[in-house]
A and B are shown apart, each in its own frame.
Chain A
Amino acid sequence: MFSNLDLDVIWRSLPYLFFDGMRFTIILTLLATAGGIVIGTLLAMLRLARVPGLSLVAGGYVNLIRSMPLVLVIFWFFFLVPYIGQWITGSDRPIQVGAFYSALVTFTLFEAAYFCEIMRAGIQSISRGQEQAAQALGMSYVTTMGYIILPQAFRNMVPVLLTQTIILFQDTSLVYVISVTDFLGAASKIAQRDGRLVEMYLFAAIVYFTISLLASHAVRRLQHRIAIIR
């Protein structure tokens, strides 16, 4: 069964797998996390705003995204981003963006919906008294949010945000459906070119497993340390 495993194929393709594939995966994960948290926080503030129109629009967007499979969202943005580019730049034909930027926009806007719910829970977990104390001192809405509420909400939600990032890291593998070469895509290409599906996919599984496991253990340790400080 395992006798004719060709481990050499893994060894030979390591540079391609990591310098091309994994590099893409990590860049996409980091950029989508950063962008997603920023946009997600804005969405959370809109959802909690007392202006009904804003709250509905933000809520509608979040609920829509959260009811769709990520694969479908990837296809949507792959199709839509050229048209959005055309609309933004006012050109007369859709703009060819390439799969990388399409994937980046997709994951950022997709994760924003999930980060929104996390930040919304975080903001709501800050007692109303904090908001009242800041208002009683005469602080404006922007100052209250920026200096008092959001810093505390963010701190409280760090473990959950990090866990979501690990989930995002795994989800990036789905760029496979638009033929983008991330880590899994690279493994898949080698697998098909050399006919070594078992070795490459097992290796990919082991790598993802190791990274995710180490990362989630680190988050759990961080959670314990935060809990002690409180």
Chain B
Amino acid sequence: MGYHWNWGIFFQLSPDGTYTYAQLLLFGAGWTLATALLAWVIALTFGTVVGVLRTSPSPWLVRLGNAYVELFRNIPLLVQMFLWYFVLPEVVPEAIGDWLKQLHNASFYNAVACLGLYTSARVAEQVKAGILSLRSGQRMAGLAIGLTLPQTYRYVLLPMAFRIILPPLTSEFLNIIKNSAVALTIGLVELTAAARSMSEFSFQVFEAFTGATLIYIVINIVVVNGMQWFERRIAVPGLISMGPPAAAH
């Protein structure tokens, strides 16, 4: 076939002499997970707030929430990355811009911020859908016993809404892990970047990408099983948790 196989490549040292290729891939996976987890925290926080805003009684807050979601959903993720990495330092006041440009691990912070806000828009959609799927009587019952609206959200609506949207939220978390690969364009050496550089240095392209693929599959399996375990643990007895169908990527 013209391609020379060498599965032992994983145990060989990379050109810089200190680590094996296998270790390089694992470091890449580490960056992938670190980026994904931090971005997920941002996504959940902002996403919940915006999702709640979109179900609030104030039409202005709803419009604000909708605008937020439309902004992040209609621009490709890669373009958003470029905006964060290349454009942001130029359009902020010079002092901040200079600080941003010399930031160590700039690509990591940019990737986290970009992914976090991008995904928060999708989380907001899920949160809104989850809250709206609850019977309207739930909100009224909360208010009727004297809870304020924020308290009603906190103690009555959100706990049930989150259980309902756990399946699509799991999809979003898996999406964040996959989308972290886009950050290789701004220099983040996450898993796909590590595989690409391994393939370029060793010429064992097939082995490199297979290694990365296997690691992504393992991460997938762990996350899916972990979420299922979590879902069972927090399930409300007597209620079948029915979420909307899993979102397309």
Could you list which residues of chain A lie within 8 angstroms of chain B, going by C-beta atoms? 1-2, 64, 66-72, 75-76, 79, 83, 86, 92-94, 114, 117-118, 121, 160, 163-164, 167, 170-171, 173-174, 176-177, 184, 188, 191, 197-198, 201-202, 204-205, 208-209, 212-213, 216
Q: Output the least CB separation between B244 and chain A (Å).
A: 11
- Which partner residue on chain A sits nearest B71 by CB separation? A209
B38 on the interface (CB 8 Å rule)? no
Contact A205 B75 (CB under 8 A): yes
B23 on the interface (CB 8 Å rule)? no
- When the two chains form the complex, which single residue of A70, A76, A205 contacts B178, counting CB atoms closer than 8 Å? A70
Bound-complex Cα distance A161 to B199 (A): 36
Contact A64 B91 (CB under 8 A): no
Contact B249 A177 (CB under 8 A): no
Contact B248 A201 (CB under 8 A): no
- When the two chains form the complex, which single residue of A67, A163, A173 contacts B79, counting CB atoms closer than 8 Å? A173
B220 on the interface (CB 8 Å rule)? yes
- Which partner residue on chain A sits nearest B3 by CB separation? A83
Contact A201 B76 (CB under 8 A): no
B160 on the interface (CB 8 Å rule)? no
Bound-complex Cα distance A95 to B78 (A): 30
Contact B216 A67 (CB under 8 A): yes
Bound-complex Cα distance A117 to B245 (A): 10
Bound-complex Cα distance A161 to B79 (A): 23
| A69 and B82 in contact, given A75-B196, A198-B91 (Cβ under 8 angstroms) | no
Q: Which residues of A contact B101 (CB under 8 A)?
A: none
Contact B249 A201 (CB under 8 A): no
| A117 and B248 in contact, given A68-B216, A205-B79, A209-B75 (Cβ under 8 angstroms) | yes
Contact B79 A208 (CB under 8 A): yes
Q: Output the least CB separation between B1 and chain A (Å).
A: 7
